[in-house]
Amino acid sequence: MTDEITAALAALRQAESDGVVEISAAPPASGGAIRARETGLEPHFGTVTWSAPPSYRAFLTLHNGLRCVRTVDDVDHEFDIAKEDELVELNEDLVHLPEHVTRGDGRALSTNHLVGFAGAGYEAVWCFDVTRPDEAGEYPVYYHHQDDEEGRTRYVDSGEWEFPESAAPDFPSFGAWFTAMVGAFTAAEPPEWFEELGSPGPLFAHAEDATA
């Protein structure tokens, strides 16, 4: 698992050396910084309980945060893995819904199952679904944008997805997500979805082959 993260980081640093991307990486996260991520969230209602999944934790032992930018046709594209204080702010501002949000049908909606861990630019956020760990403790990863007409909401009363088709994750784990991001940002020709980063809507809806 650490090998997967280390290999991706090496590819990213090579791309930086080649002038393809710009990266800014923080030193390793302390144990306190990891715990602050796990305990510092303050959703607008209810609680969010989670722990850093293994591949994410492996990354944090190397870097407490990392921002990568690639400019294509004068447009900046980025992913920005948040530091602990940034993570709390990211979720408060762009991920977790206020209480009593409905579509006018009286059924309250929630995004408290999500924990955003990285910005994708223009108010888009990469999130874990912390209610769906696999046997290894990895959480699936979702692309979330608060202006998406459908989005990743669930009903408070039942826990069911408001739009069942939104339940399919974009990546099975942080490790898979990070490897894919590095591959896209360092590719000679970025994938089609690259230009959609930061836009509302399902990121891979237009892609011929699904990511997950």
Tell me if 79 is assigned to some domain.
Answer: yes
| Residue 188 belongs to domain with CATH number | 3.40.1580.10
Q: How confident is the model at residue 150 (pLDDT cuts 50, 70, 90)?
A: confident
What is the C-alpha radius of gyration for the chain, rounded to an integer number of angstroms?
Answer: 17
**Dihedral over Cα of 19, 199, 40, 162: its sign:** negative
162 near 150, Cβ under 8 Å?
Answer: yes
d(CA 95, CA 101): 13
Q: Does residue 28 form part of some domain?
A: yes
* pTM, rounded to two decimals: 0.92
Model confidence pLDDT, tens digit, residues 97-119: 999 999 989 999 999 999 999 99
Residue 203 lies in a domain: no
Residue 204 lies in a domain: no
202 within some domain: no
In a domain, 211, yes or no: no
- Cβ contacts of 102-110, under 8 Å, gap ≥ 24: 103/162, 107/155, 107/156, 107/157, 108/155, 108/156, 108/157, 109/153, 109/154, 109/155, 109/156, 109/162, 110/45, 110/46, 110/153, 110/154, 110/155, 110/156
Residue 206 resides in a domain: no
Containing domain of residue 142, as a range?
2-196
Q: What percent of the chain stands above pLDDT 90?
A: 78
Structure confidence at residue 148 (pLDDT): 86
Q: Considering the chain, what is the average pLDDT of its residues?
A: 91
Domains identified in the chain, total number: 1
pLDDT(186) > 90:
yes
Q: What Cα–Cα distance (Å) separates residue 211 from each residue in 33, 74, 119, 189, 205?
A: 31, 27, 19, 17, 10
Whether 53 is covered by a domain: the verdict is yes
Average confidence (pLDDT) over 31-54: 95
The residues, any chain, with a CB within 8 Å of residue 212's CB and separated by 6 or more, are 140, 168, 169, 170, 171, 172, 176
First-to-last C-alpha distance (Å) of the chain: 19
Q: What is the mean pLDDT of residues 139-156?
A: 91
